Amino acid sequence: MGDAAGRSSTAKERWKILGNALRGKKSAASSDVSVRRFADFNLFSKSPFPNDDSTSAEDDGHTWVEYCWTCGESAALRIRHLTESVTAKDMIGFNNTGNVCVWPSEEILAHYLLTVRDVFRGKSVCELGGGMTCLAGLALSASVPLGKLLLTDGNQRSADNIACVLAANHDRMRTQSYSSRCLLWSRSCAYENLCQQFDFLVCADCFFFTEFHIDLIHVVKTLLKPDGKAIFFAPQRSGTLSRFTELAKEEFNVSVASEYNDIVQAQRQQAVKCSDSGYTEDLHYPLLVELTFKATAQ
């Protein structure tokens, strides 16, 4: 009952932001209480980063934060956070909540990819729906040389922010071929220049809008190489993950794991024990979902 009340309260706060934006009132996007109740699993440390020549241009309404992986060796990354007020233009259209903060699922996706980084060496990787930073794809590319990296989100403002983050981290990238773009999920799009281009697709917390499930499956089918793998991290969110995996089983081999990393499990248990953390298992703990193509009949 308590979890349901909490979810209802959070939803009301989000609609309040949208309502204020439509009425021309300003809502501070940096107030995380209005968009999330649980911050993170402490897998990355975060500290303010002073502007320099690589981060100072056109940064009104933004702040730079340095992210460092706390669980091993990896390059420190400069991440650009939105701090200016939310407007109606930002809220309407393709979901833009990822432009406000780095969500727990993105944090865990980044952590997981770093723990198995050698699997991706020399491979082509695309991050789908990476919000304002595509932290996972960025961290991976800064840790191991990939064959190619594409960072994407369906919101233009997010895509623009990703481009700024890439530019600020160019000296940290171990991958030579990397780019970013706005990429909408749509069954009407053929994605000709991206068709079967990627060994791996990675994505975090992308199942909560069920109306996009079929479109997301279309994107995976189109972009993934025949022997490729899609790696998702997402919480159950009132059964939305299960609804996606049931649809995906029509096209793919699907595996779902709730335990996939010892460090994550330890942080998960700590969050459960902390009564004032705002942690809700259904909303905040991501499962690992992997998709591969079914073998074709000979």
Q: pLDDT tens for residues 50-86? A: 765 555 444 567 889 999 999 999 999 999 987 765 4
Q: Which residues does residue 77 pair with via DSSP β-bridges, in sequence order?
A: 67
Residue type, 168: A
Q: Which two tokens stand for residue 256?
A: 């779902």
Residue 189 CA to residue 70 CA, distance in Å, equals 40
Residue 216 CA to residue 86 CA, distance in Å, equals 27
The reported pLDDT for the residue numbered 246 is: 98
Please tell me which residue, 26 or 285, carries the higher pLDDT value: 285
- Architecture in CATH for domain 2-293: 3-Layer(aba) Sandwich (3.40)
What is the average pLDDT across 158-178?
95
Name the DSSP class of 80.
Answer: E
Buried b (16+ CB within 10 A) or exposed e, 78-111: bbbbbeebbeeebbeebbbbbbbbbbbbbbbbbb
Domain boundaries, the chain: 2-293
Q: In the structure, what pLDDT confidence band is assigned to residue 20 with cuts at 50, 70 and 90? A: very low
The reported pLDDT for the residue numbered 3 is: 47
- 3-state secondary structure string across 123-164: CEEEEECCCCCCHHHHHHHCCCCCCEEEEEECCHHHHHHHHH
- 3-state secondary structure string across 180-194: EEECCCCCCCCCHHH
Helix then strand then coil, in percent of the chain rounded to 5, is 40, 25, 40
107 and 77 Cβ atoms separated by less than 8 Å: no
Q: In the structure, what pLDDT confidence band is assigned to residue 295 with cuts at 50, 70 and 90? A: confident
The reported pLDDT for the residue numbered 100 is: 53
Residue 157 CA to residue 145 CA, distance in Å, equals 27
The 10s digit of each residue's pLDDT in 232-276 is 999 999 999 999 999 999 999 999 999 999 999 999 999 999 878
The reported pLDDT for the residue numbered 66 is: 95
Q: In the structure, what pLDDT confidence band is assigned to residue 94 with cuts at 50, 70 and 90? A: very low
The model's pTM is: 0.84
* Residue 25 pLDDT greater than 80, yes or no: no
Helical H segments across the chain, by residue range: 2-22, 88-91, 104-115, 135-141, 156-168, 213-223, 240-248, 262-273, 281-284
Interhelix angle for 213-223 vs 240-248, to 10°? 50
The reported pLDDT for the residue numbered 82 is: 79
Q: Which two tokens stand for residue 88?
A: 């109606």
* Residue 11 pLDDT greater than 70, yes or no: no
The 10s digit of each residue's pLDDT in 111-138 is 999 999 999 999 999 999 999 999 999 9
Q: Which two tokens stand for residue 54?
A: 């690589």
What is the average pLDDT across 82-96?
52
| Averaged confidence pLDDT in the chain | 84
Residue that has been written with the tokens 């439509």 in this structure:
22
The 10s digit of each residue's pLDDT in 183-224 is 999 999 999 899 999 999 999 999 999 999 999 999 999 999
The 10s digit of each residue's pLDDT in 220-243 is 999 999 999 999 999 999 999 999
Q: In the structure, what pLDDT confidence band is assigned to residue 93 with cuts at 50, 70 and 90? A: very low
